[in-house]
Structure 1
Amino acid sequence: MATHRTKMLIIGSGPAGLSAAIYGARAMMEPIVVQGIQPGGQLTITTEVENYPGFADVIQGPWLMEQMQKQAEHVGTRMMWDTIVDIDIAGGSPFRAVGDGGDEYIADTLIIATGAQAKWLGVPGEQELGGKGVSACATCDGFFFRGKKVAVIGGGNTAVEEALYLTNHSDDVTLIHRRDELRSEKILQERLFKSDKITPMWNKTVERFVAGEDGTLSKLVLKDTQTGEKSELEVDGAFVAIGHAPATELFKGKLPMDGGGYLEVEPGTPKTSIPGVFACGDVMDHTYRQAVTAAGTGCMAALDAEKFLATLDFAAVMPAVEEAAE
């Protein structure tokens, strides 16, 4: 067990956390990144990435995160293979965190970039066909299903928004919902029902994702929630849209959260209710959830952390200056 002291502690190593680390290191804050249970975040389980700026050709998610980490380390970031299990932020800066191996981290500023995970159905074939026809992000992967038959599973705002978005790429979108009415906002429902490209399929649940001969998704096995009757739906792609779960368990009772469990921040900033504690990326963003927006908020968090640290330094110097003046 050891104690690690830093001006900036970053919890999470996805695009938000690593972007914060790059900016923090360049500001000579000597950041420490605690990588957590999924180093690199969700992009490490994403195969082809086509919408991250700066790359004309399709790139691989794991490679992109590897490059971000190398860049962060190159400018002075220290990466720690650890998972934070306890944190004390109530008393203000400096903040204290404890890893699962007992190591202690003392930091003047804290950046929370723990991200969020898509909720999955947990049925056979779902995990095996991830990236092979099964996805949880239409904005990320819809482009790969141009002119093909796709399905969206869910009935809330996310599902309807995903279905509407997919009509930009497909003329054959099926929305599968376990009930006979949607839970989404009325305005979204109106848009969906007006679309001639979307077919709602009511009172159905997905029991299994089935691969074709080429190893990619070929059909869904469905079950009627009222009759129990089973059926099949041939599709090229399926998007699970039943919500996301932000990784905020560690901060329950310590920081304000919204109804979905996302950390609340001052509008337009990454500032939480505790000075010196910042949140960035998917842990505070339930709207966009893109790698590029996560990276942007990571940059914002680092810049604001640098400003916060400067105010601490100024406050520490002022008493000495006033005493010398006397």
Structure 2
Amino acid sequence: MATHEYEVVIIGAGPAGMCAGLYAGRSMLKSVVLERGFPGGELLNTEVIEDYIGFEHVLGHELATKFQNHAEKFGAQILTSTPVESVKKAADGLFDVVVENGDIYRAPAVVVTAGGTPVKLDVPGEVEYAGKGVSYCAICDGAFYKGHTIMVVGGGDAALEEADFLTRYAEKVYLVHRRDTFRASKIVQQRAFANPKIQVITDTVVDEIVGAGGLMTHAKIRNTKTGVASDLVATGIFIFIGFTPNTGMIKEHVQHDSAGYLITDANMQTSVPGLYAAGDVRAQLTRQVTTAVGDATTAAIAVEKFLTARKNGEPTPAPVPMLIPSA
């Protein structure tokens, strides 16, 4: 175990984390970005980005690499394979960020940019056939289903975009949604519904994922209005029904909304002084790359002002939490 001293610790190297690292570097702050996997976050699970200003069409992994290179150019230190176990304020007012191997990263300010974890259907067979038909990442696993009939579950942008993407490989894609209306943006809906390979099944839930020989063969589905149950033959099911914010490592009593997203003020500061949040972990109307980097820019600049006030013995900005409804 070792203790490392920094001015700010950033948790997560998705778009928000790398942007916060870039601005922290530009402010000459001694900072570190701790990432459990590889830099990029959800960009690595997205094939094409079309709505990031200045990029009409860019691959997700390509944009992730650009973010990383840009952040490191300005001095961001990004440590991969460094899962954070806990974040807690010590008696001296500094945060102790403890990682998996027991090392402690100490700093007066922390920016949480840890993103989220895919929400599970929580039905029989989901765990058993994970990686054997069940997936939460179209770009990761889509190529395995060339010529197959598969399912996509969900009604938001991610579900419809990935259903459209998966038709590049699959012969047919069932888009299953529990309601009769979709949360996805209109342009995304138009594109998906116009795809002849996509068949939409509404007012329907998945009750069980069934397989044979270690691989998924079909799903048991049920119409929520009629109660009629049936089997839907598919060799793969891609689940896009939301994300749970990765905030479990925070051991402080911090305000959050009913879904667990952190509540911040306009400066991205949470109810705990010195603890900031940006990107998908924060309660807000929408979660996009653009909002993530916007949050991170504000958070990093606010941290610099917070640290300056602290260093000069001046009152640090008090957090004024405000609830912004989650999408």
Aligned residue type for 1:315: G
Query: Alignment partner of 1:67: what SS?
Result: helix
C-alpha displacement at 1:220, in angstroms? 7.1
Alpha-carbon distance in 1 for matches of 2:107, 2:45: 30
Partner of residue 230, structure 1: 231
Q: Aligned Cα RMSD in Å? A: 3.7
Q: Alignment partner of 1:271: what SS?
A: coil
Amino acid in the other structure paired with 2:3: T
Task: Report the number of matched residues.
Answer: 279
Q: Which of these residues, 128, 131, 135, is aligned with residue 127 of structure 1? A: 135
**Structure 1 match to 2:250:** 251
User: Secondary structure, in 3 states, of the residue corresponding to 1:249?
Assistant: coil
Contact 1:152 1:240 in 2 (8 A): no
Q: Quick one: percent identity of the two aligned structures?
A: 27
Query: Taking structure 2 as the reference length, what is the TM-score of the superposition?
Result: 0.71
SS at 2:13 equivalent: coil
For 1:165 and 1:208, how far apart are their aligned partners in 2?
A: 34
Q: Going by fraction, where is helix more abundant, 1 or 2?
A: 1
* 1:12 Cα offset (Å): 0.7
Establish whether residue 207 from structure 1 lines up as the match of residue 184 from structure 2.
no
Alpha-carbon distance in 1 for matches of 2:133, 2:87: 37
Q: Paired residue for 1:3?
A: 3
Aligned letter for 1:229? Answer: S
CA distance in 1, matches of 2:293, 2:2: 30
- Measured in 2, the distance between the counterparts of 1:50 and 1:164 equals 15
Instruction: Give yes or no for contact 1:113–1:280 (8 Å, CA) kept in 2.
Output: yes
Shift of 1:269: 3.4
Mapped contact 2:157–2:185 kept (Cα < 8 A): no
Q: 1:291 to 1:200 in 2, by over 3 A?
A: same
Structure 1 match to 2:267: 269
| Partner Cα distance (1:127, 1:40) in 2 | 19
Q: Would you say the 8 A contact 2:85–2:249 is kept in 1? A: yes
Contact 1:223-1:231 within 8 A present in 2 as well? yes
After superposition, the Cα gap between the structure-2 partners of 1:108 and 1:150, relative to the gap in structure 1 and judged at 3 Å, is same
Residue identity opposite 2:73 in structure 1? H
Are the aligned partners of 2:222 and 2:228 in contact in 1 as well (CA < 8 Å)? yes
Which ranges of structure 2 fall in alignment gaps of 5 or more residues?
143-149, 212-216, 316-327
The offset of 1:205, in angstroms, is 4.1
Is the 8 Å Cα contact of residues 4 and 106 (structure 2) preserved in structure 1? Answer: yes
- Residues 89 and 96 in structure 1, CA contact (< 8 A), matched pair in contact too: yes
Q: 1:50 to 1:222 in 2, by over 3 A?
A: farther
Bigger mean CA deviation after superposition, 14-23 or 242-251: 242-251
**Whole-angstrom distance in 2 between the partners of 1:160 and 1:137:** 5
Shift of 1:281: 0.6
Distance 1:97 1:275 in 2: 15
Which has more radius of gyration?
Answer: 1
**Is 1:80 equivalent to 2:79 in the alignment?**
yes
Show the counterpart of 1:62: 61
- Give the C-alpha shift of residue 101 in structure 1: 1.1
Post-superposition Cα deviations, 1:217-270, rounded to whole Å, max 9, x if no partner, equal xx9744337555324589xx987453321101112553222211111212x331
2:28 partner SS: coil
User: What are the within-5 Å matches in structure 2 for residues 1-326 of structure 1?
Assistant: 1-37=1-37, 39-59=39-59, 61-81=60-80, 82-89=82-89, 91=91, 93-121=93-121, 122=126, 125-127=133-135, 130-131=138-139, 132=142, 134=152, 138-139=156-157, 142=160, 145=164, 151-155=175-179, 160-162=182-184, 166-171=188-193, 200-202=202-204, 205=207, 207=209, 221-224=219-222, 226=227, 228-232=229-233, 240-266=239-265, 268-285=266-283, 287-315=285-313
Does the 8 Å CA contact 2:21/2:71 hold for their aligned counterparts?
Answer: yes
Length-normalised TM-score, structure 1: 0.71
Cα separation, 2, equivalents of 1:72 and 1:79: 9
Q: What secondary structure is seen at the aligned counterpart in 2 of 1:167?
A: helix
Q: Structure 1 unaligned runs (5+)? A: 174-196, 210-218, 318-326
Residue 20 of structure 1: CA displacement?
0.5
Query: How far off its partner does 1:160 sit?
Result: 3.4
